[in-house]
Structure 1
Amino acid sequence: MIKLQYNVDSKRISTRIEQLAGCSSTSVGVTRLPFTVESLEAERLVEEWMKAAGMTVRKDGLNNIIGRYEGKNPTASVLLIGSHLDSVIEAGKFDGVLGVITGIEVVQTLRDNGVILDNPLEVVGFCDEEGVRFHSTFLGSKAIAGTFTAEDLERADENGITIAEALKGIGIVNPYDYKNARRTPEELLAYLEVHIEQGPVLEKENKPVGVVSGIAGATRFSFEIIGKPGHAGTVPVAIRQDALLGASDLISYIENIALENKPLVATVGKLTVSPGASNVIPGLVTGTLDIRDLNVERKQKAIDAILAESHRIAESRGLQIKFDQVMEVEPVYCNEGMIKLIEEAISERSGSVVSLVSGAGHDAMAMADVTKVAMIFVRCKDGLSHHPDEFVTEEDMGVGAEVLYSTVIKLASKQ
């Protein structure tokens, strides 16, 4: 058994994250879209740090940057550690980046202690997870998992530039080289990801880190409520066909369903009222409903209940309510064996273990198509993310790195 050395350098992690924050197209927050000047600048820094940690560095056909730390058995399956380097518009400094820099720090710590594991390690900075530029998420991890397609190359940004054209713009002559990024299940031992929680649970529990049990599946609908517009001053309230009142009933019911089925979450995130005049009874309301849960059966029961209630509301108020499903994403369960190792590492470092379900999507979702996955969450202030004020303490980053270090050693070395 390799003796664990908890001498990760949390200050180095923090300093590097600050440096990457400077690779931004905006002065407020961090804006770093894939295949841009800013992303290339960030990749140059990451490459420098990977090499300093003793890794050989390459880029694959979709511009994921990968550092390899060789194992005792170079032909053994690879333990992949990673997250993404892109951001949303005016984002915080830590989302995605924390996982990449923590992975590099773990390898640096191994090298500094002269530790070579049985299995090779690779740290990957995925080119695009957020999907902001091309309106499709997990592009980098999908390429490695083998689920990126030729059709994806034709996705265009708001300026009409396709992924294929963007790849050529950064020097990838043949965009179809994305096929070379694909890894097989035989090549990979597992995938590990450290990420900020992006929620308030760890802070509420006063814990620096937690283990992720799985990533919730999501069902998304658009809906339309059709009533009858009329004069706000002349139509009695009792006989109105007010589409907005129908929406109010529906939204209240959705909240109650979510509260009755924790940890399921349900969100009406967009609502448009027509004709939108102060003196006209609303005749049409359109909106969106997003429902997420790790438990597929519970999620479906909640959906069925909401749809049934919508019919009751429509009948009682003289409305028409129509739902159209626009998205279905299956949940991903983290590997039980890997969860156990993470729990052991957390117990050794910070006592009791908090288990969380991720309601947000992560690269681990895409990687689950090719290998077993697990995630470590790190506490963030106020649960805030996708915002310039996103913040993680240096101490918590250090704990996250120590937990990852311990887990990596146990996974990639013979017991």
Structure 2
Amino acid sequence: MTTAREVLDRCAELDRFTATPPQLERVYLSREHASANAVAGRWMEQAGLRTWQDPAGNQCGRREGATPGLPALLLGSHLDTVPDAGSYDGMLGVVMAIAVAGRLRDHDLPFALEVIGFSDEEGTRFGKALLGSQAFAGVWEEDWWDLRDRDGVTLHEAFLEFGLDPRRVGDAARRPDELVGYLEAHIEQGPYLEASNRSLGYVTTIAGARRFRLTFVGEARHAGGTPYHRRRDALVGASEAITLIERRARESECIATVGRIEVQPGAINVIPGRADISLDLRAATDVERDEMWSALSAEIERACAIRGLRFEVRETHRAPAMPCATWLQEAVMAGIRSIGDDDPMGLWSRAGHDAMAVGRVTDVGMLFVRCHDGISHHPEEDVRELDVTAGLDALEAAVLDVAARIGGARG
């Protein structure tokens, strides 16, 4: 039986596959991606699974249920990373899934059991998140083939270089009748479990996100010669918007983040004539998120008018909120109760996950594992062995709870 210590050691082994040592960076359709898939595939085989790499580059494994050909309960997460990543975001969930599959190898389950290591949750290389899980869900747009990485390589070219056939990407899609549901274990990426002294929590819903490029257009003029009443400073307008965004978000249940600022012409002695900022807006429901955007955009528009600035908006990403299925929430709660936590803590996920895409074809549920100080997307990302032990036991118990539900329904 794979222990928590072995799970953590396997996460450390995956750290070897990085394009930027000593920092961890493993992106879609890279040599490092291929190496991680190969190692994960070997662990899947050791857990008694039949393995394959699907036409989108996801690493998969399957063991049949009590009779061959049954729909599958899917366990997994992702194997790719952000730049300068930690060791557990995504990877912990994949390795835990493999471990639980190994623990259950002698059980006759009323479904097949599959494990998947999704290939591109982060979107680091091509700027488009969830490519692997969207292919799994049958969502693929032809214009994605023209996406380019920082070296100018298109997604289409990267598929060919990796040994995948772009014409077959649709074969990665799964049908709803092939699946029972999807359970994903993941580090929390927030401080709430630690603040409550809990090892584990269950997810109620995954944030609906929208991303924008906000542009402020003024007039570039000499910094010394232009009096203030004549200035149309785009950067000052953008700065006012940034403080407004934070203030309004703090007053609500939404999360709004400006992560990038670009200024033109960017000279020390020139008033900025243009400023572009990013906005990442998230909430537990799409209604809350969209209402916040309507209020923000109207207020920024008014502030720009007062300053004589033109305000332009381009939406770059939209993902609907994904509620976790009630029955899978209950299964995860049963798993958490099995480790002695009689009142499991429910959390909405502020971060996005592959479950958002998988939820388009089957019910999803998520188990959160405590991470130190809520740090993620950073080398200091850390989990404790005792929490991983609890997570393995709870995930195994959740799978057995699903088996009891499915078996009872069939009986």
Q: Above 0.5 in TM-score?
A: yes
Amino acid at match of 1:107: A
Q: Distance in 1 between matches of 2:150 and 2:263?
A: 27
Amino acid at match of 2:321: P
Could you say which residue in structure 2 is the equivalent of 1:82? 76
Could you say which residue in structure 2 is the equivalent of 1:56? 50
Matched, 1:32 2:26: yes
Query: What's the secondary structure of 2:381's corresponding residue?
Result: coil
Q: Distance in 2 between matches of 1:181 and 1:224?
A: 38
Q: CA deviation at 1:65?
A: 1.7
Could you say which residue in structure 2 is the equivalent of 1:324? 314
Q: Deviations over 1:253-295 (max 9, x none)?
A: 2112111211x10112222334444444444322122211122
Q: 2:276 aligns with which of 275, 278, 286?
A: 286
Answer yes or no: is the 8 Å Cα contact 1:261–1:298 preserved in 2: no
Q: Distance in 1 between matches of 2:107 and 2:374?
A: 36
Matched, 1:202 2:193: yes
Answer yes or no: is the 8 Å Cα contact 1:191–1:373 preserved in 2: yes
Matched, 1:384 2:375: yes
Answer yes or no: is the 8 Å Cα contact 1:99–1:194 preserved in 2: yes
Change (3 A) 1:230 1:294: same
Q: Distance in 2 between matches of 1:147 and 1:79?
A: 20
Could you say which residue in structure 2 is the equivalent of 1:4? none
Q: Distance in 2 between matches of 1:319 and 1:153?
A: 36
Amino acid at match of 1:269: G
Q: 1:346 aligns with which of 330, 336, 339?
A: 336
Amino acid at match of 1:55: L
Q: Distance in 2 between matches of 1:82 and 1:302?
A: 33
Greater Cα shift, 29-38 or 232-241: 232-241
Greater Cα shift, 18-27 or 222-231: 222-231
Change (3 A) 1:75 1:329: same
Query: What's the secondary structure of 1:411's corresponding residue?
Result: helix
Q: Distance in 1 between matches of 2:233 and 2:147?
A: 40
Answer yes or no: is the 8 Å Cα contact 2:64–2:70 preserved in 1: no
Matched, 1:72 2:66: yes
Q: Distance in 1 between matches of 2:204 and 2:351?
A: 13
Amino acid at match of 1:328: R
Q: Distance in 1 between matches of 2:154 and 2:389?
A: 39
Q: CA deviation at 1:153?
A: 4.2
Q: 1:117 aligns with which of 103, 109, 112?
A: 109
* Identity over aligned pairs, percent: 39
Could you say which residue in structure 2 is the equivalent of 1:251? 242
Q: CA deviation at 1:150?
A: 4.8
Q: Distance in 2 between matches of 1:175 and 1:275?
A: 41
Q: How does 1:15-414 map to 2 (within 5 A)?
A: 15-111=9-105, 114-172=106-164, 174-233=165-224, 237=228, 240-262=231-253, 264-349=254-339, 350-413=341-404, 414=407
Q: Distance in 1 between matches of 2:393 and 2:116?
A: 19
Change (3 A) 1:307 1:42: closer
Q: Distance in 1 between matches of 2:112 and 2:93?
A: 18
Q: CA deviation at 1:168?
A: 3.7
Q: Distance in 1 between matches of 2:133 and 2:188?
A: 20
Q: Which has the higher contact order (CA 8 A, sep 6+)?
A: 1
Query: What's the secondary structure of 1:269's corresponding residue?
Result: coil
Change (3 A) 1:86 1:324: closer
Amino acid at match of 1:142: Q
Amino acid at match of 2:385: E
Q: Deviations over 1:27-64 (max 9, x none)?
A: 22322223333222222221221111111112222232
Change (3 A) 1:334 1:150: same
Q: CA deviation at 1:297?
A: 1.8
Query: What's the secondary structure of 2:401's corresponding residue?
Result: helix
Q: CA deviation at 1:94?
A: 1.1
Answer yes or no: is the 8 Å Cα contact 2:203–2:367 preserved in 1: yes
Change (3 A) 1:138 1:234: closer
Q: What is the total number of aligned residue pairs between the two structures?
A: 405
Query: What's the secondary structure of 2:73's corresponding residue?
Result: strand
Q: RMSD value over aligned CA atoms? A: 2.3
Q: Deviations over 1:105-129 (max 9, x none)?
A: 1011112xx3221111000112222
Change (3 A) 1:327 1:179: closer
Change (3 A) 1:207 1:273: same
Matched, 1:14 2:8: yes
Answer yes or no: is the 8 Å Cα contact 1:33–1:39 preserved in 2: yes
Amino acid at match of 1:58: W
Residue segments in structure 2 that go unaligned for 5+ positions in a row: none
Q: CA deviation at 1:228?
A: 4.2
Q: Distance in 1 between matches of 2:312 and 2:44?
A: 53
Change (3 A) 1:122 1:269: same
Q: Distance in 2 between matches of 1:25 and 1:242?
A: 41
Amino acid at match of 1:25: A
Query: What's the secondary structure of 1:337's corresponding residue?
Result: helix
Q: Distance in 1 between matches of 2:316 and 2:19?
A: 32
Q: Deviations over 1:128-175 (max 9, x none)?
A: 222222332222212221112454445443344444443443444x43
Query: What's the secondary structure of 2:9's corresponding residue?
Result: helix
Change (3 A) 1:259 1:138: same
Change (3 A) 1:270 1:24: closer
Greater Cα shift, 30-39 or 360-369: 30-39
Amino acid at match of 2:350: G
Change (3 A) 1:274 1:134: closer
